[in-house]
Structure 1
């Protein structure tokens, strides 16, 4: 089934929406639609929508991991072992936190999804024009 979008938005405008923060510096949620692809297995091609998500930045790298994972990373650093980085710049990927809205208006993070930027097709229901 092909979707037709009545509005379009440039990638620069989409990026500005992804980076929006409120007065307290908290990321503002948005929705994205993208096509899946796994370079390792060659699988993908499914259209996915994340109705409530925020862009994670590098300062959230440790906080997004479980306490057990953080402890492992700290121990590796003490031994002089550098953990493998995600290479977001080289791979043109970003991590997005999928959110669940609470009745009090706050949000809980459900999971983290890595998405290749060029595979993002929509933001807030608007088609992204590259």
Structure 2
């Protein structure tokens, strides 16, 4: 039988930075959100993903640096507030650099442990 972990503990572990102030890497299995049927859709497994969050440090590839990058001083980019808390979503950055939005209600596994809502 697989070990289990509660969803609130998963969310806490995801947003806890390591001792250098950077996001931790984790493996996660999640179903996509089907907005038409309001249920889970396709199954996805992501390895070495990181939660998109402000990271400390001067690394030009850090999430903090990428979020604050302005391509031109003349143009100002207005970003929409994602309302992650009310929408029950989180953004994760994959190993290849892509950013995916996941619905926390459909997290199935976290670091090899079964997630209990």
Establish whether TM, by shorter chain, passes 0.5.
yes
Q: Which residue matches 2:20?
A: 24
Any gaps of 5 or more consecutive residues in structure 2? 56-62
Give 1:94 deviation, angstroms.
0.6
Where do 4+ consecutive residues of structure 1 move more than 3 Å?
A: 40-44, 58-62, 70-74
In 1: Cα distance, 2:73 partner to 2:81 partner: 11
Give 1:58 deviation, angstroms.
5.8
TM-score, normalisation: structure 2: 0.74
Any gaps of 5 or more consecutive residues in structure 1? 100-108
Q: Which residue matches 1:6?
A: 2
1:63 is aligned, of 41, 66, 74, to 66
Query: Which structure shows the higher helix fraction?
Result: 1
Aligned residues: 110
TM-score, normalisation: structure 1: 0.67
- What is the RMSD of the two structures over their aligned residues, measured on CA atoms? 3.1
Give 1:83 deviation, angstroms.
3.5
2:45 is aligned, of 26, 49, 71, to 49
Give 1:87 deviation, angstroms.
1.9
